[in-house]
């Protein structure tokens, strides 16, 4: 499975307090999401406001992509929602080749 992360900003979803970003799995788009709580817990976002979450996403982009890639590997390339708990699991952060 070849996983890539196109180089553009995630989209804030204020109704669900998430950041959505597109991932490509074998060239096909897959929706990936990280919830605000994960950005607060692991990437120093101090509120759920859009500019704060965007900054936290940018700071943690490599780790977020790595965890997302591992989740995609595990679920067969289906949509991923990254919760805070995924970032505390050592096995969720292998040395993936996650190209932009």
Q: In the prediction, which pLDDT does 88 show?
A: 77
- CB-count exposure of residue 30 (10 Å: 0-12, 13-18, 19+): middle
Q: In the prediction, which pLDDT does 100 show?
A: 44
**pLDDT confidence band for 87 (50 / 70 / 90):** confident
pLDDT value at 93 more than 80: no
In whole angstroms, give the CA distance from residue 29 to residue 78.
Answer: 10
Mean pLDDT for the chain overall: 89
User: What is the number of H-type helices and E-type strands within the chain?
Assistant: 2, 5
pTM of the model: 0.85
**Unique residue bearing structure tokens 């799995």:** 25
Q: Domains along the chain? A: 3-91 (3.30.160.140)
pLDDT value at 26 more than 80: yes
Which helix (H) or strand (E) segment is 19 a member of? strand 18-25
Q: In the prediction, which pLDDT does 91 show?
A: 52
Q: In the prediction, which pLDDT does 44 show?
A: 92
Q: In the prediction, which pLDDT does 52 show?
A: 97
User: Rounded to the nearest 5 degrees, what angle is found at the Cα of 50, between the Cα atoms of 25 and 84?
Assistant: 55
The tally of CA atoms less than 13 A away on the side-chain side of residue 33 is 15
């Amino acid at each position: 499975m070849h996983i890539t992360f196109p180089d553009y900003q995630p989209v804030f979803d204020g109704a669900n307090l998430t950041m959505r970003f597109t991932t490509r799995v074998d060239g096909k788009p897959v929706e990936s999401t990280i919830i605000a709580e994960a950005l607060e817990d692991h990437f120093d976002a101090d509120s759920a406001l859009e500019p704060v979450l965007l900054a936290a996403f940018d700071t943690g982009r490599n780790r977020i992509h790595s965890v997302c890639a591992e989740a995609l590997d595990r679920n067969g390339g289906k949509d991923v929602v990254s919760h805070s708990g995924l970032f505390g699991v050592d096995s969720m952060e292998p040395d993936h080749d996650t190209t932009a």
